[in-house]
Amino acid sequence: MEQTEKTNTASMETLQKMVEAGVHIGHKKEKGHPKMKPYLFTTRQGIQIINVEKTLEKLEEAAAFLKSIAAKNGVIVFVATRVPGKLLIQNAATEAGMPYVVERWLGGTLTNFSNLSKRLTYFIDQETKKSKGELAKYSKKEQLLMSREIEKLEKKMGGIKTLKKKPDALVLIDIDEHISAVREAKKMGVPVVAITDTNTNPSLVAYPIPANDKSTKSLAVILDRLVAAVKEGKAAVIK
């Protein structure tokens, strides 16, 4: 009984935190996706309001899934290529010790991982050579060109340089913005956890989390819980 009361209190505190962060504020009704209807509470002044109880329910489902992946030493790639999610996703992935994509999603990341792996190996090799001063044997012009190439590769692939195998899951913000990643994941059987605002189709991913995807506070609340779950899973492996 005492445990149940503690759980209920924790849930109420989380729900309150979500409301304060604006997790519940969706888009205008005319922009809403019909498949988001089960996650809505009401419409106020033409704005769709998300049911935060549903958000918490789906968030905990996603958290449990990510925890199980991390507990098996699995790899989760965090994805967000637009403001305001980019920095939040990068920080979340870094804290969780996972790779991330904050620039453009590279086509074939999942469907042609063998080719991506070769590019990553080349990138890391060039980066290592530069750090060891091995580029000094080339002319200044060649060194400049090589350095520029490394910079470009860092921008494109720096967040996934630790990726040694096809990831076990993706965490992303905004399905519509990353539809190519979602399609690749579906084709390759990689489950997707996604923050889904009222204008997106939640049925495209395995673990939709209905929430405002434009507010940094909203995103932070959701990502904090997901990162905590990943860290819990990793801790279980260590034990």
Same domain, 124 and 104: no
Same domain, 184 and 229: yes
Same domain, 82 and 173: yes
For residue 223 the two structure tokens come to 């990502």
Same domain, 183 and 91: yes
Q: Tell whether 6 is covered by a domain.
A: no
AA identity, residue 232: E
Q: Tell whether 8 is covered by a domain.
A: no
Same domain, 26 and 119: no
Report the CATH number that the domain containing residue 136 is assigned in CATH.
1.10.287.610
Q: Tell whether 3 is covered by a domain.
A: no
9-48: b (≥16 Cβ within 10 Å) or e: eeeeebbeebeebbbbbbbeeeebbeebeebbeeeeeebb
Same domain, 106 and 198: yes
The distance in angstroms from the start CA to the end CA of the chain is: 29
Same domain, 99 and 30: yes
Same domain, 147 and 34: no
Kindly give the parts of the chain with pLDDT less than 50. Answer: 1-7
Cβ atoms of 110 and 190 closer than 8 Å:
yes
Q: Tell whether 38 is covered by a domain.
A: yes
Q: State the total domains in the chain.
A: 2
Q: Is the peptide bond before 202 cis (omega within 30 degrees of 0)?
A: no
Q: Tell whether 10 is covered by a domain.
A: no
Same domain, 56 and 173: yes
DSSP 189-207: T--EEEEE-TTS-GGGSSE
Same domain, 35 and 84: yes
Instruction: Tell me which residue of 99, 49, 5 sits closest to 211, measured CA to CA.
Output: 49
Non-local (6+) Cβ contacts of 155 within 8 A are 103
Same domain, 64 and 39: yes
Q: Tell whether 7 is covered by a domain.
A: no
CA atoms of 78 and 113, how far apart (whole Å): 17
Q: Which domain holds residue 137?
A: 113-160
Same domain, 81 and 127: no
Compute the chain's Rg from CA coordinates: 20
Report the CATH number that the domain containing residue 105 is assigned in CATH.
3.40.50.10490
- Please tell me the pTM assigned to this model: 0.91
Q: Tell whether 174 is covered by a domain.
A: yes
CA atoms of 85 and 107, how far apart (whole Å): 20
Q: Tell whether 12 is covered by a domain.
A: no
